[in-house]
Structure 1
Amino acid sequence: MKIFSEFNKFFNKKPNFIFLIDGLGALLSASLLIVLSYWVDLFGMPKDVLYKLFPIPLFLAFFSISNYLIQPKIFSFRLWIVAMANLMYCILSFSLVIYFYDILTGLGVLYFFSEKFIILVLVFIELRICKNEYTLN
């Protein structure tokens, strides 16, 4: 797990940078939900469900980027909130994939599982940063 130790070194030097990464990723997720709504036949997730999911990553992007710009001195609690919100978004999305599994295409399942995998890796990194921040203070 050398890559995680490299992440730890980087984020120990610039811990607030994780908010920017999270925020940009959330903006990408929100944008892709809109793109997916134009190709329902290709992915299978109903358009109204995609539109209802859209505000969640948009709000997370706003919250994360705001925290990056503000750069709070003690940011662990805010980062923990971001990590938990990401986790809840993953649980909601996985639930929707299970609920709509019969109408999702293989590409749709691949997209949602890939996105959630990336988000869960990010959550893992965020929680490690929170743990390191508490240990350092």
Structure 2
Amino acid sequence: MDAKPVSIDFNREKQILTIVWSDESTFEYSSEFLRVYSPSAEVRGHGQGQETLQVGKKDVSIKDLKPAGRYALKIVFDDGHDSGIYDWKYLYRIGEKQDFYWQDYLRRLEEAGAKREATFINITQL
């Protein structure tokens, strides 16, 4: 069964996208989760094992949501990333398995010695 969105709501203040699906499932997606699991080639690569771990995205925000035909959303983030097209099937899959994907992301960050928080350099001390 291919569920379709019945309702899409974005809470700009909390940076949470909520989608209610035709099978009565409801998934909430944080902007950080959507950014680190972008379906773009920049994030996913062009094949298995070519993924790029996204770091420092804890405070990323969604600037804009645009429909991409009748099958997807294009999400524009405030870090400039805007190349992922989130089709309904992909959004449903990552919503359904969000706990697994999130724990996997945290594990990969830890293994890489990386953080969710952005790293800034104080240029006044250079």
| TM-score, normalised by the number of residues in structure 2 | 0.28
Q: Which one scores higher on RCO, CA 8 angstroms, separation ≥ 6?
A: 1
Structure having the larger proportion of residues in helix: 1
